[in-house]
Chain A
């Protein structure tokens, strides 16, 4: 079982719709959770971080964390073609893992006009 799992997609949504990206993780003690956006040929860009259960909103982005279910999600409202990218979920397990992030394989999102 992979430590961090994401549906690789591609996920295709129309412009203006809500895109929902999901991620599950195996280490129940994980402490910090991050979403990165990666455009083709570019480096990962941090867009959201979440540390406690519940929702965290930043502009059109909302991260949701449920530690009991070991589940983190990213919602993108009013999706735009410029949101088309690969979205990477990353988890920091804490403890002796220091700053090591474990990444999922990423979900490819396509927003079509």
Chain B
């Protein structure tokens, strides 16, 4: 079946513009996660949804970052008034979300490379 998809794959924007990054999880996966990955580092947690509920947004760097998943499927990560330091690879992952250890096997999408000029 289809994996996690993300769009756009590449986004170049000017400082001060807003951007919206989209994630379409694996069909039937309840949980959806956003991470940010710097070069040479592991992914860093941003936020997490269970169905449409945002369960944890502790990793969002500041209030310019927000995320939603209104119908419990596709999610959008929005960055307002972008700054150069926002430039990174933004990765989305999904998992089944059932109780027990298997629920946290997360599968990553291809990522969106954001460049703020």
Q: Write the B36-77 contact mask toward A (1 if CB under 8 angstroms, else 0).
A: 000011111100101000011001000000000000000000
A51 within 8 A of B: yes
A105 touches B40 (CB 8 A): yes
- Size of chain A's interface in residues, with CB distance under 8 A? 26
Main secondary structure, interface of B, reads mixed
Q: Inside 8 A of B55's CB, which chain A residues have their CB?
A: 98-99
Query: CB-CB contacts of A96-113 with B at 8 A, as 1s and 0s?
Result: 011111111110000000
Encode A72-113 as 1/0 by CB contact (under 8 A) with B.
Answer: 000000000000000010101000011111111110000000
| B31 lies within 8 A of A99 (CB) | yes
A88 and B42 form a contact (CB under 8 A): yes
**Cβ contact within 8 Å between B101 and A106:** no
> Which parts of A19-50 form the interface with B (CB within 8 Å)?
31-32, 34, 36, 42-46, 49
The contact of A105 among B42, B48, B110, by CB within 8 Å, is: B42
Q: Which residues of A contact B17 (CB under 8 A)?
A: none
Please tell me if the beta carbons of A100 and B105 are within 8 angstroms of each other in the complex. no
Q: Are A106 and B48 in contact, CB atoms less than 8 angstroms apart?
A: no
B101 near A32: Cβ-Cβ < 8 Å = yes
- Minimum-distance CB pairs A-B, first 3: A103-B42, A51-B101, A43-B108
Chain A residues within CB distance 8 Å of chain B: 4, 8, 31-32, 34, 36, 42-46, 49, 51, 88, 90, 92, 97-106
* Chain B residues packing against A (C-beta within 8 Å): 31, 33, 40-45, 48, 50, 55-56, 59, 91, 95, 97, 101-111
List 20 contacting pairs A-B, 8 Å CB cutoff, sorted by A: A31-B101, A34-B105, A34-B106, A43-B91, A43-B109, A44-B43, A46-B106, A90-B42, A97-B56, A98-B48, A98-B56, A99-B31, A99-B48, A99-B103, A99-B106, A100-B48, A100-B56, A101-B45, A105-B41, A105-B42
